[in-house]
Amino acid sequence: MADNALESVLSITALFADYASALDERRFEDWTELFCEQCHYEVQSKENWDLGLPAALIYCDSRDMIQDRVTVLKDTLTYPYLHSRHMITNIRIHGDAGGAYQVSANYLVLHTTEEGETRIYSTGKYQDEIVFTETGPKFLKKIVIADTSAINNLLAVPL
């Protein structure tokens, strides 16, 4: 593998690690910086995705919309405090089309309550487009396809 290709793989893998870390550590402002200014982020259920239905659980078509969601999350919404752990596996780079890497990965999000009960919050996969900017790789498009739309709690914290 060429050094440049290996460097791209390592940078993309680090982007996913930064994504999980920012969400798990509740550094939501850092999370928003992982996206391009003009980007797309949505959460779909697998059923809707498979049927081609457009109803998203979350839909943002710019980083400004993502930042608005974070502001509401931090300043307005009330929800029980949960410790999150994002596990991202099977990262696959499917190719580079028009300067954007097509990348998929599986995810598992665990929530642990203050009382110490841990349970699976959501599982599914990511379908992403990643571009390299002057500051490193960023998500141009992130589509989260949750295995089910039956998510136990309010979908406050992004997947």
What's 52's domain CATH number? 3.10.450.50
DSSP 147: S
Q: What is the per-residue pLDDT across 116-144, written as a single tens digit (0 to 9) for each?
A: 899 999 999 999 999 999 999 999 999 99
Beta pairing, strands 83-97 & 100-112: antiparallel
Q: What is the per-residue pLDDT across 64-107, written as a single tens digit (0 to 9) for each?
A: 999 988 887 776 655 567 789 999 999 999 988 888 999 999 99
Q: What is the per-residue pLDDT across 1-48, written as a single tens digit (0 to 9) for each?
A: 456 888 889 999 999 999 999 999 989 999 999 999 999 999 999 999
Q: Tell me which residue of 118, 79, 107 sits closest to 16, measured CA to CA.
A: 107
Which residue do the tokens 């460097």 mark?
7
User: Does residue 104 belong to any structural domain of this protein?
Assistant: yes
11: part of which helix (H) or strand (E)?
A: helix 3-24
User: Does residue 159 belong to any structural domain of this protein?
Assistant: no
Per the structure, the complete domain to which residue 126 belongs is given by: 3-146
* Residue 98 confidence (pLDDT): 83
Neighbouring C-beta atoms of residue 86, cutoff 10 Å = 21
User: Does residue 151 belong to any structural domain of this protein?
Assistant: no
Sign of the CA dihedral with 91 first, then 95, 101, and 104 last? negative
The total number of structural domains in the chain stands at 1
User: Does residue 152 belong to any structural domain of this protein?
Assistant: no
User: Does residue 156 belong to any structural domain of this protein?
Assistant: no
User: Does residue 154 belong to any structural domain of this protein?
Assistant: no
- Identify the band that residue 149 occupies on the pLDDT scale cut at 50, 70 and 90: confident
User: Does residue 155 belong to any structural domain of this protein?
Assistant: no
Query: In terms of C-beta density within 10 A (0-12 exposed, 13-18 middle, 19 or more buried), how is residue 123 classed?
Result: middle
